Structure 1
Amino acid sequence: MKRRDFLAGTACGVVLAGSAGAAIPLALPDYNMPEDMLPREVRIKNDFGPFEIHVDPGQYALYWTLPKKKAIRYPVGIGRTSLYEAGEYYVGARKEWPSWTPTDEMIERSPQLYAQHADGMPGGINNPLGSRGLYLFQPGRGDTFLRIHGTNEPKTIGRRVSNGCARLINDQMIDLYNRVPMNTRVIMYPLA
């Protein structure tokens, strides 16, 4: 499936700045994101099943599909070119303010950044997984160590910066997390 087959060009609807039900902790900063970097409802071309996640790396966008050819589009940062892994996944775990431990591969690639956290880092605003984490699994493989997670670094949205994961600003991640149940289908499309 090509991403141009997935998307329609125009947005419809209203910005979802503070969606009902999204519990935002008082410690969460105001990220002051420009309007074009806020979630919004859009039309999609294809008849994808509702309540799936589709990550389009070329558009730096994550789509939460809705009925009637609609979706909520969230801006994201994605994995660096050599670390991004296209494929089909499912949400195998969901965590609020998750702890984080870098993988052995991350420590090997960048020991100056990650070795100090080899024993893990507790959840919190400065944790690389941010406010929420959706853990991506595959049948027969289990946990892929890929995540859709929060970040408190707005400058990383719209860029290829992570170790393979898709990241959303913390308050937007909370909104998405509140919508996504366990076993949700996730498609990460190939880099164009």
Structure 2
Amino acid sequence: MRIRNALTALGLLSTLAITGCSTTAEENRKTAALTPSAAEAAPAKVETAQIFSDAYGPVTDAGYTLPAIPIQKVNPKFQRQIVEYASSEKPGTIIVNTHDRFLYYILPNGKAMRYGIGVGKEGFAWAGEAHVAWKQAWPSWHPPKEMAARKPEVAKYVENGMGPSISNPLGARAMYLFNDKGQDTLFRIHGTPEWASIGTAASSGCIRMMNQDVIDLYERVRPGKSAKVIVQQS
């Protein structure tokens, strides 16, 4: 039944522009799983130290089965890898370069874990510093009212949301960014079932990652002021 429901949702999503940003973050926050995970340290812009091309097989997680990604169809530069990356930021900092379609998770000793990303139009609308205030596994999706006005078929999800599934536009994980005043930036780092959108300027959404990658990043991030995020637009 779960697979059949997921396929039905996937058929719906193919008729609309997927978005990962929502104006109802507070409602989701009430049910978010906030158990922090210790940030991992491992060796990572100019020279690749290690590439994880074998990390995109099928994944069973919380009762959901993510399909394998045909990683040979993804440009190697957008596959998860540890790279040399000179930065004055502390390990654990996330730097999003929307122009180059990369997300860097800073590691010790001048390295970073680099992930390929897709950037939706909302992702190009904001730049600056924030922090991961909270994160959620298998989040519900609430499309903005503006989207529902354009796509009546998703209007039913504005209030009640689309439940977790392998076709949910937020993917397997979502991380919610707030500013230093505790205000929601409405900027999200999230998964996506549309792996082919990685490395592109997507039609909508914030910062998309392949589901296998967003799960990896999620496990490294400890929500709070120390989970600094810098978004660069150039």
TM interval, short-chain normalised: 0.7 to 0.9
| Alpha-carbon distance, 1:15 to partner | 2.0
Instruction: Identify unmatched segments of 5+ residues in structure 2.
Output: 1-43
Is 1:27 aligned with 2:70? no
Distance 1:140 1:164, change over 3 A: farther
Of residues 215, 221, 231, the one that matches 1:180 is 221
Is 1:44 aligned with 2:85? yes
**Identity of matched residues, %:** 34
CA contact (8 A) 1:24 1:171 kept: no
| Alpha-carbon distance, 1:141 to partner | 5.3
**Higher normalized strand content (fraction of residues):** 1
Using the size of structure 2 for normalisation, the TM-score is 0.70
**Higher normalized helix content (fraction of residues):** 2
Distance 1:82 1:74, change over 3 A: closer
Q: Which runs of 4+ in 1 moved over 4 A?
A: none
| Alpha-carbon distance, 1:82 to partner | 8.1
Using the size of structure 1 for normalisation, the TM-score is 0.84
Matches of 2:147 and 2:102, distance apart in 1: 24
Of residues 177, 198, 222, the one that matches 1:157 is 198
Instruction: Indicate the residue corresponding to 2:175 in structure 1.
Output: 134
Q: Does 130-139 or 76-85 show the bigger shift?
A: 76-85
The residue type paired with residue 213 of structure 2 is: Q
* Correspondence 1:1-192 to 2 at 5 A: 8-15=45-52, 17-18=54-55, 24-25=60-61, 27-34=65-72, 36=76, 37-80=78-121, 83-108=124-149, 110-112=150-152, 114-119=154-159, 120-140=161-181, 142-161=183-202, 163-183=204-224, 184-190=227-233, 192=234
Which structure: larger Rg?
Answer: 2
RMSD: 2.4
Count of residues in correspondence between the two structures: 181
- Which SS does the other structure have where 2:104 is aligned? strand
Instruction: Identify unmatched segments of 5+ residues in structure 1.
Output: 1-6
- Which SS does the other structure have where 1:161 is aligned? coil
